[in-house]
Chains A and B, each alone.
Chain A
Amino acid sequence: MSAWETAFQSGVVVWDWIIAIYLFLAGMSAGAVMISIYLKRKVIEGDPSENGILRATAFLAPFGIIVGLTILIFHLTKPLAFWKIMIFVNPTSVMSMGVILFNVYMAVLFIWIGIIFRKQIVGFLKGKFEFVDGLLEKFEQFENALELFLAFLALILAAYTGFLLSALQTFPMLNNPVLPILFLFSSLSSGAAACLLFGVLVFKEDSHGPSVNWVHGFERPVVMFELFVLVTFFTGLIFAGGQSQLAAINAIGSGFWASWFWWGVIGAGMLLPLLLNAVAPKSVKHSGVFILVVTTLSLVGVLMLRTFVLYAGQMTVV
């Protein structure tokens, strides 16, 4: 496996595959939240807490954020000092602003979930922590504003990971204005895939219902736009000439990462799901196995994209 070893040169690359997983989880969480808010406001009729996709998001979104941040903490060279990042602020640092954003996002997310699933939570608490019910009732007054604020926060969060990397002048492939847009759309596509995967298969949402139909309908333009953004991204690099052009050629021209990109990210992660969704007969389309396969391909594709951007980006220096 020496090609893998040389490609994943963890000694030379400062931010390695652990960061790629974090980028994926954060993006998926934000994407799932954005989709769920839209569903709740425009598609779902009746009690939102009964909806399988919303239930899936109630687990996925906090899970993604919490697990993502935890692995980040352990990636620090001084993990026990992580709290310092929460109390010291540097307004010029995208990471510092991101930490604040994460904190606010998490708070608002938990409140929003709390409002939706108030009945279930109170039932689960069985009389303990009575203040929770009262608190949630107070927050419910601002549900609309909170929801819109959360949607906004999720959008910023999805793009934030892109801004984080694009602040690095050192790497011409990362120092790119299109990167935040790419990450936003890849968040939406991973969020949609995760919502479907867990919403239908775990929380038994009706695969013929309006929610699932909407997400399916939403997925295709998102993936197509994502492909367009990728084309824009690499064309821009090539047109920029010099080190930017070299970075693009090193990344997708030949070698390990080129194969990873064309076969994994584009082929298996984007084109294959599109193709499968287009040609599969109606009877297969709504089967559990089909949904499992297609959403997994999508999710793996997004993880591969984040890994690719991180590693191939750090290959070429300005």
Chain B
Amino acid sequence: MSCSRRNFLTGAGAVIFTTGVAGTAVISSKKTLASVQEDGDKRYGMIHDETACIGCTACTEACREVNNVPEGVSRLEIVRSEPQGEFPNVDYRFTRNSCQHCDNAPCVMVCPTGAAYKDEKTGIIDVHQDKCVGCGYCLLACPYQVRFFHPENKSADKCNFCRDTNLAQGKLPACVESCPTKALVFGDLNDPSSEINKVLNTQVVYRDKVHLGTSPKLYKVPHQKGEISS
């Protein structure tokens, strides 16, 4: 045998070391995977059901009240289509225009100070008001054009799913609570048993401007008449 004791011991030690490290890595990663699934990060999303929306804009007013949004600007907009059909069978389609809380948000990408950020625990896109200098880059970068300058604190502002107001108190966002026809559904997209996932799995939904690669989290159940335009 040409293998000396020293060589043998070195080789054996190397083998043990490698398998030991690999083994612990595998075992501990399995543990990590399980813990992510149990109490991991949430990804909050919302569904706007166009078949239920009556265009009353109670959501807009509730948001204004709960989040102290001044008149003249709005965190969300309900857009009414042109009338479809003839009297007395005239139909309108209402679409919601508000922050899509993109998983790949262009506003977060362009903000020079990092004031626009994604809260990794909830998936909500929000603004650090004290870091915002008001350059306007995020207003331009948002392809959905939902950002605006707050007239009072001069920071960039937009819907943040009531993160610091209703959500912080354990309630649903103001718009969701105020809807008389329950056209808004809010929940955790990471939770397979959540109501939002139930609706997503049972109804036809679409999102706006998906081709831009922003991965928006505001889904819409399309109005059942006419063409879906996204």
Contact = CB atoms under 8 A, between A and B. Distances in A.
Contacts, number: 81
A88 interface: yes
Nearest to B135: A76
A169 B141 contact: yes
A15 B136 CA distance: 7
Nearest to B153: A78
Contact of A78 (B112, B134, B143, B209): B134
Contacts of B111: 90, 93
B112 A167 contact: no
B212 interface: yes
A230 B30 CA distance: 56
A168 B141 contact: yes
A82 B209 CA distance: 33
Interface string A41-81: 00000000000000000000000000000000000111001
Contact of A77 (B140, B143, B145, B154): B154
B12 to A, nearest CB: 46
A169 B106 contact: yes
Contacts of B56: none
A39 to B, nearest CB: 34
B86 to A, nearest CB: 31
B133 A76 contact: yes
B140 A93 contact: no
A91 to B, nearest CB: 10
Contacts of A169: 106, 141, 143, 212
A13 B141 CA distance: 13
A315 interface: no
B72 to A, nearest CB: 11
Interface in A160-187: 167-171
Given A93-B137, A95-B135, A317 B145 contact: yes
Q: Interface size class for chain B?
A: 20 to 34
A94 interface: yes
B112 A82 contact: no
Given A84-B131, A317-B145, A95 B140 contact: no
A141 interface: no
Contact of B143 (A88, A94, A170): A170
Interface string B91-124: 0000000000000001011111111000000000
B206 interface: no
B139 interface: yes
B140 A170 contact: yes
A90 B112 contact: yes
A170 B112 contact: no
A88 B131 contact: yes
B200 interface: no
A171 B137 CA distance: 13
B133 A85 contact: yes
A76 B109 CA distance: 19
A99 B114 CA distance: 14
B134, B142, B155, B212 — which one has the most chain A CB atoms within 10 A of its CB? B134
B205 interface: no
Given A85-B113, A93-B112, A96-B113, A318 B212 contact: yes
A90, A96, A167 — which one has the most chain B CB atoms within 10 A of its CB? A90
A90 B114 contact: yes
Interface in A5-47: 14-15
A2 interface: no
Interface in A202-235: none
A126 to B, nearest CB: 40
Interface string B152-174: 00110000000000000000000
A106 to B, nearest CB: 17
A77 B132 CA distance: 9
A314 interface: yes
A84 B113 contact: yes
29 contacts: A14-B139, A15-B140, A77-B155, A78-B133, A78-B134, A78-B154, A81-B132, A81-B133, A81-B134, A84-B113, A84-B131, A84-B133, A85-B135, A88-B113, A90-B114, A93-B109, A94-B110, A95-B112, A96-B112, A96-B113, A168-B106, A168-B140, A168-B141, A169-B106, A169-B212, A170-B142, A170-B145, A317-B143, A318-B209
